[in-house]
Amino acid sequence: MKILFSGDSFTYGDEIVDNETFRFSRLVCNHFSAEEVNLGENAASNDKIVRNVFEYLSLWDVDAVVIQFSVLSRFDAYRWDTNRWDSITPSDIGGAFDHADSFRKSKAKPYYKYIQDDIVDQQRYYQQVLLLQLYLKQRNIPYVMLQLEDPDYSTHKIHEPNYYKDLCEDFECIIPNLIGPHFTDNFCPDRRAEGFPHLHGTHPNYNGHRIIADHIISKL
């Protein structure tokens, strides 16, 4: 049995020690004695998360797919100098988590100033969800979907009409529904004050990954 996982830093297992052993994808595969294929990438956009699934399944077969959708406002831009896609995030404009090069800044600043808003984010997001759900059903591949950011929770408004959303199957939100209600118990500690700028405590700890894994196992 082989299970494909695609997502952002939650799927990658950022901020936990020995992430390849304790992230939820490994815990799920341990339960099913399955081969783990983890395509999680830090700061990955939903564009990249979906593309990774299509690219992998164009070459190899799997027995199940688990997709963890990311922050809706992220997007991908193609780099002709490297012939690859880069995920662009709001922090690429600047600020505390800014590590962007000139290319990413040149894409982020006009997009977030003139184009991006909740309606644009939701429209693109539900298009991606529906596309992937229909594709996996067509291939008869069982899947579990999770979303990091619940549009209804974060914006308090799903903009209607959204015909793509109406056709999508519902699925669980990691924050706040699964592990958000007890944030300090389920997330890594914020250690920036101790001199570790990248340990900002916004990713699941061992307990959080266990909760996510158990949910996925119950769905598979």
Encode pLDDT of 124-169 as tens digits: 999 999 999 999 999 999 999 999 877 665 555 677 788 898 999 9
Tokens of 182: 């007890």
pLDDT reported for residue 54 = 98
Higher-pLDDT residue of 143 and 118 is: 143
pLDDT reading at 201 higher than 60: yes
Higher-pLDDT residue of 183 and 209 is: 209
Amino acid at 127: Q
pLDDT category, 100, cuts 50, 70, 90?
Answer: confident
Q: Which parts of 135-208 are beta strand (E)?
A: 143-149, 172-175
pLDDT reported for residue 60 = 98
Percentage of residues of the chain with pLDDT beyond 70? 95
pLDDT category, 32, cuts 50, 70, 90?
Answer: very high
pLDDT reported for residue 44 = 97
| Contact (Cβ atoms closer than 8 angstroms) between residue 33 and residue 5 | no
| Contact (Cβ atoms closer than 8 angstroms) between residue 89 and residue 99 | no
Give the number of C-alpha atoms closer than 13 A to the C-alpha of residue 18, restricted to the C-beta side. 5
* Average pLDDT of the residues in 52-66: 98
Least confident of 6-10, 92-96, 153-157: 153-157
pLDDT reported for residue 98 = 64
pLDDT reported for residue 156 = 54
- From CA 116, how far away is CA 73, in angstroms rounded? 7
Q: What is the 3-state secondary structure (H, E, C) of 38-92?
A: ECCCCCCCHHHHHHHHHHHHCCCCCCEEEEEECCCCCEEEEECCCCEEEEECHHH
**Is the link from the previous residue into 176 a cis peptide, with omega within 30 of 0?**
yes
* Average pLDDT of the residues in 202-210: 97
**Is the link from the previous residue into 204 a cis peptide, with omega within 30 of 0?**
no
pLDDT reading at 16 higher than 60: yes
What mean pLDDT, rounded, does the chain reach?
92
- From CA 116, how far away is CA 31, in angstroms rounded? 41
Amino acid at 68: Q
Give the number of C-alpha atoms closer than 13 A to the C-alpha of residue 6, restricted to the C-beta side. 23
pLDDT reported for residue 120 = 92
